[in-house]
Amino acid sequence: QKEVEQNSGPLSVPEGAIASLNCTYSDRVSQSFFWYRQYSGKSPELIMSIYSNGDKEDGRFTAQLNKASQYVSLLIRDSQPSDSATYLCAGLNAGNMLTFGGGTRLMVKP
């Protein structure tokens, strides 16, 4: 099993809808998780970090961590075409190194 797994997508949502991105992780990954957004041809940009069980909100973004089920999610409310990008989920492994999922491509259609 990969340390961090994501559905590659693409996930297509209409403008204004809620986009839900999911990520699961293995026992080899610790309790620190991060969501990055990567536009095509660009480097990743940190959106949110989450360390504790539950929800963390920042503007239109909400990260959710469920340690019992070993999943992390990112909700994007009022999705905009400019949100179209690849979203990378990452967690820290036993070596304290950031390990990335393969990314989910999000397409927000006007």
Partner 1 sequence: GAVVSQHPSRVICKSGTSVKIECRSLDFQATTMFWYRQFPKQSLMLMATSNEGSKATYEQGVEKDKFLINHASLTLSTLTVTSAHPEDSSFYICSASPERNIQYFGAGTRLSVL
User: Can residue 87 be called a binding residue for partner 1 (CB under 8 A)?
Assistant: no
> Quick one: which segment of 18-26, 45-53, 63-71, 75-83 binds partner 1 (CB under 8 A)?
45-53
Position 69 contacts partner 1 (CB under 8 A): no
Q: Which of 14, 46, 53, 80 binds partner 1 (CB under 8 A)?
A: 46
25, containing H or E segment: strand 19-25
Residue 81, helix vs strand vs coil: helix
Single residue of 19, 101, 106, 108 touching partner 1 by CB under 8 A: 101
- φ/ψ bin of 36: left (φ > 0), alpha (ψ from -120 to 50), beta (otherwise): beta
Angle, CA 51 vertex, CA 73 and CA 40 arms, to 5° = 50
| Residues forming the site for partner 1 (CB under 8 A) | 32, 34, 36, 41-46, 49, 88, 92, 96-103
